[in-house]
Structure 1
Amino acid sequence: MYIWSLEEYDDPELYDIENTGIEELAFLRMWSDKLGIKDKPIVDLACGTGRITIPFAEQGYNLIGIDIHEGMLNQAKSKTPETMSICWLHQDCLHMQVDVPVPLAYMVGHAFQHFLTNQHQNKFLQTLRNVLTKDGVFIFNTRFPSIEELLQPSEEVFWKSITDSQNRRCDIYTKMFFDMIKQVQSYVTIRRFYENEKMIEEKETKIDLRYTFPQELERVLLMNGFKVLHIYDGWREKMLSKDCYTMVVVCQKEQGYINYT
């Protein structure tokens, strides 16, 4: 069984404080409306604490949230209004199952980068085919492998300050190491917590992220039975360019597919 790099997610409350944006939602709702599936189930893969799942469901859509991290799922459940029906599933995306195939699945927050090898990308996409309807759509984002992104400094760099749930100031620093052969970036986050300007705690977490180039994405999707409909620069449908930060990929399950992997 694959051991995931998940220690960055071991404090779900802090995760929610650091990650508040929902810029993906308008794009996902547009595609849901385009497919005419408001009454059909939609799967949020690697849903985490429900950052997108819950506001999506609040707009009247039928959501299923899948995540391997039980603590993140428990946080999502605790945030879900009692009047809202969301199906939360504690599953590994490499082996996930749903009761009924769905017409739309999405994976945001660059979670696709957790699949560190070609084999894991293939396995995920093969499993996803079994989750989708015959012409189901999959939408996901992954960071663009720009020079600036890959060659970030290996020494500590200040990112931002936040206030945690205990009203402590938390200064966040990052440092990164990129493996050019594996195309995997080891991303280290250092959090220093202060009370009355005195540092009282320091935490360091590490996460590994795979970078995949646009041509690689098209090939791996095609090899696993998906037709690429769009690759955008960001969630506002901009044309892909060298200055891109996040690639947004829209692809569709193809019929008549032969598994060559």
Structure 2
Amino acid sequence: MQVTKLFATIVSMVQNSLYDRPDLYDLMAPPDPILERFYVDIARERGGRILDLACGSGRLTVPLAQAGLDVIGGDLSSAMLERARDHARANAVEPGFVELDMCDFDLGGRTFDTIIVAMNSVLHLHSLDDFKGFFGSVGRHLSPQGRLVFDAFLPNIAMLNTDPNKRELIGTVIHDGLGAITVEETARYDPLTQIRHVDWYWSSKTEKDFWQAALPMRNVFPQEMPLLVASGGLRLIERFGDFDRSQLTAESMRQICVCGL
């Protein structure tokens, strides 16, 4: 009986998703004025309709709407979308929201002048089929002169080689109901799939590891990014090394991609 209970607990922990707990997610993804300004400015350049894919709790959808842009936020998680709707109401804006899978979606012939995938969300795509489905779906929803804009971590070999058995402290945050919470992570990199398997452990003062969530993220190296974009029929038009639109270099922390038809 104890073995069965232990097994059930392990399975439950492994299946947890950070996106099932928007209250915890938002603590680890606070507002970032630099990121928001970049995406608002680049969306304004083309005007028209904006699609914010993997919008989560509306962290970027709401600032886009506050800037007067016509924006729809799309996400796979119903819990995150509900949080996003609450966030929008609290800020007196009314963007649209729709539940969708960014690997394969159809919004009934609607097209957009800018499609955004922010905060490394594109790295939730793991296989070539995932990327082909994503870029293909985006292509079907871009206006003729429209642009897809997304950011992704630039792989760091030192980070990929961290000890998979060692917990690292990510930070301490304050939850409205649970008080001070520490967040730790372990990470294991699979060089064959290029996926970094991250597990986050959440502990309060009264309960250690009350929540564990897996966060597997694909690493995309700079030379393969244009090939993945092309696999879905798009082309990489421009690439930056940061949100100030500086050049991509070996020292860059991220690659910010602008793609079109």
Alignment of 1:41-60 (within 5 A): 41-60=49-68
* Match of residue 153 from structure 2: 143
Which of residues 248, 251, 259 is equivalent to 2:256?
248
* Match of residue 89 from structure 2: 81
**Is the aligned partner of 1:32 residue 2:43?**
yes
TM-score by length of 2: 0.88
Q: What code does the residue aligned with 1:233 have?
A: G
The 4+ residue runs of structure 1 with deviation greater than 3 A are 198-201
Deviates more, 1:88-97 or 1:5-14: 5-14
Alignment of 1:156-175 (within 5 A): 156-175=167-186
* Match of residue 64 from structure 1: 72
- Distance in 2, Cα, partners of 1:203 & 1:138: 34
Specify every segment of 5 or more residues in structure 2 that has no aligned partner in the other structure, as ranges. 1-14
Identity of aligned residues (%): 19
- Structure 1 residues 210 and 201, CA, compared in 2 at 3 Å: closer, same or farther? closer
Contact kept, 8 Å, 1:6 with 1:207, in 2: the verdict is no
Query: How far has the Cα of 1:6 moved from its partner?
Result: 6.9
* Match of residue 11 from structure 1: 21
Contact kept, 8 Å, 2:240 with 2:248, in 1: the verdict is yes
- Distance in 2, Cα, partners of 1:6 & 1:52: 24
* Match of residue 228 from structure 2: 220
- Distance in 2, Cα, partners of 1:217 & 1:27: 21
* Match of residue 180 from structure 1: 191
Q: What code does the residue aligned with 2:149 have?
A: I
TM-score by length of 1: 0.88
- Distance in 1, Cα, partners of 2:16 & 2:107: 23
Query: How far has the Cα of 1:228 moved from its partner?
Result: 1.5
Helix, strand or coil for the counterpart of 2:98? Answer: strand
* Match of residue 112 from structure 1: 122
Number of equivalenced pairs:
243
RMSD: 1.7
* Match of residue 93 from structure 1: 102
Q: What code does the residue aligned with 2:65 have?
A: A
* Match of residue 124 from structure 1: 134
Deviates more, 1:99-108 or 1:144-153: 144-153
Whichever structure has more helix as a proportion of its residues is 2
- Structure 1 residues 238 and 148, CA, compared in 2 at 3 Å: closer, same or farther? farther
Contact kept, 8 Å, 1:146 with 1:242, in 2: the verdict is no
